[in-house]
Chain A
Amino acid sequence: MLNIVWPIFIIISFSYAIFSGNLESLNSSIFQSTEDAINLTLSLLGTICLWNGIMQIASKTTIIDKLTKVLNPIIRVLFPDLKNNPQIQQEVSMNMIANILGLGNAATPLGLKAMKSMQKENNKKDILSDSMMMFIVINTASIQIIPTTVIAIRNSLGSENPTSIVFPVWIVTICAAMARNTSNKAINKNYKKGEIII
């Protein structure tokens, strides 16, 4: 994706700067930007290392197993098709826990494993099943409990209260999750009627 977006950005902004005579500010911004990237990376480095270390402690304890059990009733409601398949349920909930704790690197492999297991149970191999759709929808919702990256960015820019956004983020995540569920259900319903096939 960035192989398309990045050159477009460079071409339109650099050629516009040449035509409009904004070359001085473009030149200074090029060097300013590399400096900004370094500052942000340094700040991210601190936060991500700290959080990753803490989550490593969590992953060595039984917390994840326990949280997986807490999620079970929710998973039964969201994935009715998986009720006879505890193995896939387990994979799905481990992916969700990894997402909630902000372990993006752990969440993706777990998620892909769950998708592959669901594909085995899928009757039509070239169409997403209901549970797969629900699973992808959950993964496109940011259900991370602490938005560490944003906090790091805010911190690097000298915010007075970098963590002040945590609660608003939760509220918005819940709103968006409901919207996700509704739009997904609406599409599924029409799909079953045979109106939408793509």
Chain B
Amino acid sequence: MKVMNFVSNIAMPLIILLIVIYGLKEKNKVFDTFLEGAKEGLEITLSIFPTLIGLFVAIGALRSSGILDIIIHFLTPILNVIHFPSELMPLAMLRPISGSSSIAVATDIMKNYGVDSSLGIMASTIMGSTETTIYTIAVYTSCIKIKKTRWILAAALTADLVGMLASVAICRFMS
């Protein structure tokens, strides 16, 4: 437990430290370079802002209208079989499809059940350890006009499922 926390906490500062030292060692103008990158970050974030507004409203409406509770209620008995919390189901379903809508759902889960609660940590782990699988496959196969994809979607989605179950398991183990 302590080791896990230590590794988690040291990872980011250590990487930043190493990169800055490396940049200095190779005699780069590190701060000017940093500014270039940071400026680009501004454009990236602003470009996803409209998507986030649209999706936050849609996900917020799903929750406040009460329909999400009904969906969760119906899913609970099925999901209990594999010990998967039904509150995380909307995230599990949207994660492979769309990056920005999974950001919206994950934020919604963390906000409603507590960001440091076990559901909040599970949602964070799922977000950090899985990708927008369907989107990625679509982009990579369509760029070279491949028709026969040899069940790659099934393989990738199976792995996503394993990742989600593993997220839940490790967060249970940690708490």
Contacts and interface: CB of A to CB of B under 8 A. Distances in A.
B38 A50 contact: yes
Given A58-B19, A150-B128, A153-B103, A141 B159 contact: yes
Given A9-B62, A48-B45, A176-B162, A119 B144 contact: yes
A49 B56 CA distance: 22
Interface in B12-57: 12, 15-16, 19-20, 22-23, 26, 28, 30, 33-42, 44-46, 48-49, 51-57
Interface residues of A, number: 101
A49 B137 CA distance: 28
A77 interface: no
Contacts of A55: 19, 37
Contact of A179 (B11, B110, B163, B167): B163
> Interface range on chain B: under 10, 10 to 19, 20 to 34, or 35 or more?
35 or more
Given A136-B137, A191-B150, A22 B64 contact: yes
A98 B16 CA distance: 16
Contacts of A9: 58-59, 61-62
B67 interface: yes
A165 B160 CA distance: 18
Contacts of B59: 9, 33
A140 B131 contact: yes
B107 interface: yes
Interface stretch (A34-42, A68-76, A84-92): A34-42
B73 interface: no
Given A5-B98, A14-B61, A166 B7 contact: yes
Given A1-B134, A140-B136, A164 B60 contact: no
A8 to B, nearest CB: 9
Contacts of A137: 152, 155-156, 159
B133 to A, nearest CB: 4
B74 interface: no
Contacts of B80: none
Contact of B44 (A29, A48, A116): A48
B81 interface: no
B136 A136 contact: yes
Given A6-B58, A30-B57, A167-B7, A128 B22 contact: no
A103 B124 CA distance: 19
Contacts of A10: 58, 61
- Give the 10 A-B CB pairs with smallest separation, nearest first: A56-B37, A147-B128, A176-B163, A52-B41, A29-B64, A33-B60, A49-B41, A53-B38, A17-B65, A179-B162
12 contacts: A9-B59, A17-B65, A37-B57, A49-B39, A54-B19, A108-B139, A126-B145, A128-B146, A147-B124, A154-B124, A168-B8, A183-B156
